[in-house]
């Protein structure tokens, strides 16, 4: 038998992870090697376990799936990232693929063939939910591409209501450096007030907030 496809499951709700694990354990070609409950945990587990595929929830605490995917791929560029999301809007799909994801499936679909999607991604192919399309490269960069990875991280924490000092502590940066990143990303997006920035970032799918309606 060929080598099994190693998979990391990243979702902030244990029942969801259990459900996916049961679905995958029935397939002899797939091995779940770890789980993570938030973005930073997903990054840490991926770097330690080096799975071939990471199944990543889009809306997770601290860092969302897109931010976590960007960091994982920076250090493990060969990893296949499959984003699972409640959002079908084009902006989220486009941002996920711009970050390097190979797949985007909807969690609320009645039939999610997760094993098939994982095998396709492990083989280097792209997977997208029925009704959605893989975005084509844009001649002019979208808002997601205008920001550096660090600016996207800072933006994620701004949307969560964190102060510059709190963000500095989380990211291991100086307060002044965070302030510069905040200023740069607001300038890149053409926004001058934090309240407007938060609304714009959520509306454009630049960041996501954890879905509190999901079961524990």
DSSP three-state, residue 180: helix
Of 70, 97, 128, the residue at which a domain comes to its end is: 128
Kindly state whether residues 22 and 76 are assigned to the same domain. Answer: yes
The verdict on 80 and 147 lying in the same domain is no
What CATH number does residue 31 fall under? 3.40.50.2300
- Structural domains in the chain (count): 2
* Residue 82 and residue 17 share a domain: yes
Separation between Cα atoms, residue 179 and residue 5, nearest integer Å? 42
77 and 182 both lie in a single domain:
no
Give the residue numbers spanning the domain of 87. Answer: 5-128
pLDDT for residue 38: 93
Residues 162 and 68 in one domain: no
- pTM score: 0.74
Same domain (yes/no): 20, 107: yes
pLDDT at position 40 is: 92
Is residue 136 included in any domain, yes or no?
no
Q: Is residue 133 a part of any domain in this protein?
A: no
Considering the domain architecture, whether residues 39 and 116 belong to the same structural domain is answered as yes
Q: Of 128, 155, 170, which residue is a domain's last?
A: 128
Q: How far apart are CA 185 and CA 39, in angstroms?
A: 21
Same domain, 31 and 120: yes
pLDDT in tens, the chain (216 residues): 468 999 999 999 899 899 899 989 889 999 999 999 999 999 999 999 999 999 999 988 888 898 899 999 999 999 999 999 988 888 888 889 988 999 999 987 656 789 999 999 999 999 998 888 776 655 455 777 788 888 888 998 898 888 999 999 988 889 999 999 999 988 888 888 888 888 888 887 787 766 543 433
Question: Does any domain span residue 212?
Answer: no
Does a structural domain hold residue 211? no
- DSSP state letter for 72: H
Structural domain includes residue 215:
no
């Amino acid at each position: 038998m060929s080598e099994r496809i190693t998979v990391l499951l990243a979702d902030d709700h244990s029942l969801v992870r259990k459900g996916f694990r049961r679905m995958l354990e029935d397939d002899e070609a797939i091995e779940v090697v770890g789980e993570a409950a938030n973005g930073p945990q997903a990054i840490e587990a991926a770097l330690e376990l080096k799975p071939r595929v990471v199944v990543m929830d889009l809306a997770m605490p601290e860092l969302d799936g897109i931010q976590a995917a960007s960091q994982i791929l920076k250090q493990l560029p060969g990893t296949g990232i499959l984003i699972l999301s409640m959002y079908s809007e084009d902006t989220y799909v486009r941002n996920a693929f711009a970050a390097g994801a190979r797949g985007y499936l909807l969690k609320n679909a009645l039939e999610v063939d997760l094993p098939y999607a994982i095998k396709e991604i492990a083989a280097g192919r792209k997977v997208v939910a029925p009704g959605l399309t893989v975005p084509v490269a844009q001649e002019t960069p979208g808002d997601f591409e205008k920001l550096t990875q660090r600016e996207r991280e800072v933006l994620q924490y701004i949307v969560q209501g964190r102060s510059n000092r709190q963000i500095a502590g989380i990211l291991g940066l100086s307060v002044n450096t965070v302030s510069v990143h905040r200023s740069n990303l607001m300038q890149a997006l053409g926004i001058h007030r934090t309240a407007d920035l938060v609304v714009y970032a959520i509306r454009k799918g630049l960041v996501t907030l954890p879905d509190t309606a999901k079961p524990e």
